């Protein structure tokens, strides 16, 4: 079992903070069922993730995109329908409120 050090990965991902983010993201993917792209060799998921980065089988650009997507939240906005919008506008102007 070869040891993987940060020095093996820094050539591929120069920012050590990004390296930690990318390795953690890839480790989570492997834990969630993604197939490792290198031999497991009885290594744990974080070590496998670092080996993938060092051997350039995991693309830093793809890992960056995966980190970004994992942090984004999808929010649905409930848009009022046309009739509801017209009623609100009339109510705001005072129309149709029983005047007359």
- What average pLDDT values come out for the chain (100 residues) when binned by 10 residues? 78 93 96 95 94 94 93 78 78 66
The reported pLDDT for the residue numbered 47 is 94
pTM of the model: 0.68
The reported pLDDT for the residue numbered 100 is 47
Which residue ranges form the domains of the chain, and what is each CATH number? 6-72 (3.90.940.10)
The reported pLDDT for the residue numbered 89 is 83
d(CA 80, CA 85): 6
């Amino acid at each position: 079992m070869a040891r993987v050090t940060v020095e093996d990965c820094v050539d591929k991902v120069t920012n050590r903070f990004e390296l930690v983010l990318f390795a953690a993201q890839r480790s989570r993917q492997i834990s969630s069922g993604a197939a490792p792209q290198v031999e497991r060799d009885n290594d744990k998921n974080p070590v496998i993730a670092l080996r993938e980065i060092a051997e350039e089988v995991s693309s830093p650009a793809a890992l960056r995109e995966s980190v970004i997507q994992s942090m984004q939240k999808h929010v649905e906005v409930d848009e009022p329908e046309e009739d509801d919008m017209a009623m609100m506008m009339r109510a705001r102007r005072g129309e149709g409120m029983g005047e007359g």
